[in-house]
Amino acid sequence: MEKAIRKYWPAFLLPTLAAFIIGFIWPFVWGLYLSFHKFTTVSKTTFVGLSNYVKVFEDPTFVSAFWFTAKFTVVSTILINIIAFLLALALTRGLRGTNVYRTVFFLPNLIGGIVLGYIWQILLNGILTNLGLPLLALDARYGFWGLIILMCWQQIGYMMIIYIAGLQNVPGDLLEAASIDGATSLQTLIKVKLPMVMPSITICTFLTLTNSFKLFDQNLALTGGEPAKASQMLALNIYDTFYARSGPQWKGIGQAKSVVFCLLVIVIALVQLHFTRRKEVQQ
């Protein structure tokens, strides 16, 4: 059987492999190569060793974008997961209209980041103006919280769905046993439900972490990094380095930034993998 299939690799493997090489492997390897070079056009590159990487960490905009992104990621991950979990709890109580609520909460997730960004820019700027506060693009604090609100609005529904699925998988007899033992609903939540939905929590945490860390469209549309790059996140900073700064040195630095960014994301993923593995052993 295996042998027969193997003969058909041009049909089964080749199309995906070819596209994968064009769309991922080759650009990835090439990008890695270019990060050690100085270039304006790719036909003329000069090897500069690690100097691009040195410049990445000397660039104050990258460092500040990193901290902004880190802060944003932590706050949004915590907020989204807590609210999504609470909503999931409320929606697994068998309330009337549960389906309607679920439909509404999930809806924003289907709208793209650029569109979402503009919707919230209009809304939040309206609120800020009427309160006599600076616009989103003029005060990085409002830009930050604007992004948080936007991210919550978009992601909570998605995470909620995953938590609902997790909670529904908690066996009924376990809950019954807990109630017979006289556990309060809070005890049931902490002792029974939470451990049982741990896989969902890990997944949701991971998804929100990476989504927030890699955020681009929403950042571009909502604040565009204004004022003076104070609300710029890493992905936008990299884009900016590539395409908004002219000069022969910037492309190489941009590519080096992307490699650093990529490494950061991989570290997050590995940490996540480590935690999932440990959970799997326990269960």
Partner 1 sequence: MKKIVALVLALTLCMALAVTACADASVYYLNFKPEQDTQWQELAKVYTEQTGVPVTVVTAASGEYETTLMSEIEKSDAPTLFQVNGPVGLANWTDYCYDLSGTALMEHLTNESFALKEGDVVKGIAYVVETYGIIANTKLLEKAGYTAADITNFESLKKVAEDIQARKDELGIDGAFTSAGMDGSSDWRFKTHLANMPIYYEYKADGITSTGAIKGTYLDNYKAIWDLYINNATCEPALLASKTGNDAVAEFVGEKAVFYQNGTWAWNDISALGAENLTMIPIYIGVEGEENQGLCTGTENYWCVNAEADQEDIDATLAFLEWVITSDEGRKSMSQDMGFVVPFDTFTGEYASTNPLVAVDTEMTAAGKTPISWNFTTMPSEEWKNGVGSALTAYAAGTGDWDGVVTAFVDGWKTEYDLTH
Partner 2 sequence: MTKAKVYHDGAVSGARRAVDAFLSILLTALSLIWIYPVVLILLNSLKAETAISTTSVFELPTSETFVGLDNYIHGVTQMNFLSSFGYSVVITVTSVLLIILCCSMCAWYITRVNTLPSRLMYLLCAFSMVVPFQMVMFTLSKTADSLSLNTPFNICIIYLGFGAGLAVFMFTGFMKSVPLAIEEAAMIDGCNPLQIFFRVVFPILKPTAISTAILETMWVWNDYLLPTLVLDIKKYRTIPMAIQYFRGSYGRVEMGPMMACIMITVIPIIIMYLACQKYIIEGVVAGAVKG
Per CB under 8 A, contacts with partner 1 among 39-98 are 40-42
- Give the SS3 label for residue 239: helix
Would you count residue 115 as binding partner 1 (CB under 8 A)? no
Q: Which does 93 bind (CB under 5 to 8 A by kind): partner 2, partner 1, none?
A: partner 2
Contact letters for partner 1, residues 10-29 (x by CB under 8 A): xx--xx--xx--x-------
Chain mean position to CA 147: 13
Q: Which of residues 126-185 bind partner 1 (CB under 8 A)?
A: 128-129, 131-135, 137-139
Q: Which residues contact 205 (CB under 8 A, 6 or more apart)?
A: 77, 81, 272
Q: What residues are paired with 45 via a beta bridge? A: 39
Would you count residue 104 as binding partner 2 (CB under 8 A)? yes
State the CB neighbour count (10 A cutoff) for residue 71.
Answer: 12
From candidates 115, 228, 244, 271, binder to partner 2 by CB under 8 A: 115
* Shortest separation between residue 261's beta carbon and partner 1, angstroms: 18
State the CB neighbour count (10 A cutoff) for residue 268.
Answer: 16
* Shortest separation between residue 190's beta carbon and partner 1, angstroms: 45
Q: Which residues contact 188 (CB under 8 A, 6 or more apart)?
A: 175, 178, 179
* Shortest separation between residue 34's beta carbon and partner 2, angstroms: 7
Tokens 């945490």, residue? 205
Would you count residue 228 as binding partner 1 (CB under 8 A)? yes
Instruction: Please state, in angstroms and rounded to a whole number, the distance separating the CA atoms of residues 140 and 272.
Output: 30
- Element at 45 (helix H, strand E): strand 45-47
Instruction: Please report, as ranges, the residues that interact with partner 1 according to CB under 8 A.
Output: 7-8, 10-11, 14-15, 18-19, 22, 40-42, 125, 128-129, 131-135, 137-139, 224, 226-229, 239, 242-244, 246-247
